[in-house]
Amino acid sequence: MTGIISDRSNAIYIKNVSHKGRGVFANIPFKNGDLIDRSPTWGFGNVEATQFDNTGLFEYYFVRPSKFAQQPMVGYVVFGFISIVNHSSRPNARIAWADEDTGTWASIIALKDIKVGDEITHQYSNISDYPKTIKFVE
């Protein structure tokens, strides 16, 4: 890749990662604090969470830190690339939540400089809820 890409619509891409499945990667460099992506969400309560926990959706919904969550929401389905960002105990990005007139939005923000080709990762807030059979790979 040559030059600087200013078209943010192609800022990230998805590819398969050995032992992880799909992952999100930088197609342009990001600086600490940069917005990487922003997605709308759908919040749900306990009844839906119980149903999701028995499906593959469990691995794709987000638990918002309780001090920020609007009750009675238990979790959020995030629409967009953010839902495919993998976990890391040493993440290079974080999720930021915003409640707006159009609903709750999730943004992924760079925690440090990210180079072209780097995988974008964040730390799952509900890692202890995952079954012991799921092994996370750094």
Span 5-35, pLDDT tens digits: 344 568 999 999 888 788 999 999 999 999 9
**Cα angle, residue 51 at apex, residues 46 and 57 outer, rounded to 5°:** 105
Average pLDDT over residues 65-74: 60
Span 74-132, pLDDT tens digits: 788 899 888 889 888 899 999 999 989 998 899 999 999 999 999 999 887 655 555 55
**CB-based contacts of 129: which residues, under 8 Å, 6+ apart?**
63
Domain boundaries, position 37: 12-123
Higher pLDDT, residue 50 or 80 = 80
pLDDT of residue 61: 76
Residue 25 inside a domain? The answer is: yes
Residue 98 inside a domain? The answer is: yes
Q: Which helix (H) or strand (E) holds 68?
A: none
**Cα angle, residue 13 at apex, residues 7 and 19 outer, rounded to 5°:** 165
Residue 6 inside a domain? The answer is: no
Residue 84 inside a domain? The answer is: yes
Structural domains of the chain, count? 1
pLDDT of residue 3: 42
pTM: 0.78
Domain containing 56 — which CATH number? 2.170.270.10
Higher pLDDT, residue 38 or 52 = 38
pLDDT of residue 5: 39
Residue 136 inside a domain? The answer is: no
Closest residue by Cα to residue 95 from 111, 77, 115: 111
User: Coil, strand or helix: which one is 33?
Assistant: coil
